């Protein structure tokens, strides 16, 4: 028996770039319903992970799935061509905790993908990171610190904040990888990933996906040390990857 449940969708294409990014999503459906929704909207992802830990493969990793949409990260656009997309099922759209089994299986899958393609830790991202004006997923309850402990993505160390004396929010967010052309959107996406306590609780799914971020959002001053520490970590790993 295959380790994945295969349900291939035709909504994919040839890649034009090397795989260098892993994008984590969530949708408010179980796996079977999510597959139907993707089919109806002519979209796809490479994998879906159900709360019970079952993994569905919808597109070959060799192909470009249609999961990222209009996107930007660290100077690169149209990330479908260079990324692998994993959808997690979450009836709360990531506003409440994911199941332990789902997280364990997602960690295993991510580790395999990162190792196989040598994906840099700076390029393990949320859908909300690469599309901050359009997407809130995988949500404030996604356990990014735990994933970083497992070698999946980066987390900050507060002692590093003293190594950075910048105060410009846009410059620091850009150092991490965000598109800062809409600064409130980028700032709120940063909070979703690194400071979810500053993200408003919203259990109304329709409102959550229609009102992505407060248009007048300003990064709280008390978060500046966290932002500086994150920027330091991402700059450090960028230097290491270029060495």
Q: Annotated active-site positions, please?
A: 87
Half-sphere exposure of 196 (CA within 13 A, CB side): 19
Quick check: 117 and 106 in contact, CB under 8 A? Answer: no
Helix, strand, coil % (nearest 5) of the chain? 40, 15, 45
The span from the CA of 63 to the CA of 238, in Å, is 27
Bridge-based pairing state of the strands 72-73 and 76-77: antiparallel
Closest Cα to residue 187, out of 163, 135, 223? 223
The span from the CA of 30 to the CA of 55, in Å, is 12
- What is the Cα 173 distance to its own chain's centre? 15
């Amino acid at each position: 028996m295959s380790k994945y449940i295969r349900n291939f969708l035709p909504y994919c294409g040839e890649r034009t770039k090397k795989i260098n990014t892993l994008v984590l999503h969530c949708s408010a459906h179980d796996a079977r319903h999510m597959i139907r929704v993707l089919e109806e909207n002519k979209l796809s992802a490479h994998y879906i992970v159900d709360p019970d830990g079952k993994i569905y493969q919808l597109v070959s990793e060799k192909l470009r799935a249609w999961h990222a949409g209009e996107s930007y990260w660290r100077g690169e656009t149209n990330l479908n061509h260079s990324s692998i997309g994993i959808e997690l099922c979450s009836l709360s759209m990531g506003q409440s905790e994911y199941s332990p089994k789902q997280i364990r299986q997602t960690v295993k899958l991510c580790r395999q993908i990162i190792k196989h393609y040598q994906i840099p830790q700076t390029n393990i991202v949320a859908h909300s990171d690469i599309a901050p004006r359009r997407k809130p997923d995988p949500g404030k309850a996604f356990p990014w610190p735990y994933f970083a402990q497992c070698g999946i993505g980066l987390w900050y160390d507060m002692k590093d904040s003293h190594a950075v004396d910048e105060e410009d929010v846009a410059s620091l967010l850009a150092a991490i990888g965000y598109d800062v052309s809409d600064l409130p959107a980028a700032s709120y996406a940063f909070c979703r990933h690194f400071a979810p306590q500053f993200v408003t609780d919203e259990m109304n799914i329709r409102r959550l996906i229609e009102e992505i971020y407060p248009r007048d959002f300003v990064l709280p001053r008390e978060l500046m040390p966290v932002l500086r520490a994150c920027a330091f970590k991402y700059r450090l790993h960028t230097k290491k990857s270029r060495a």
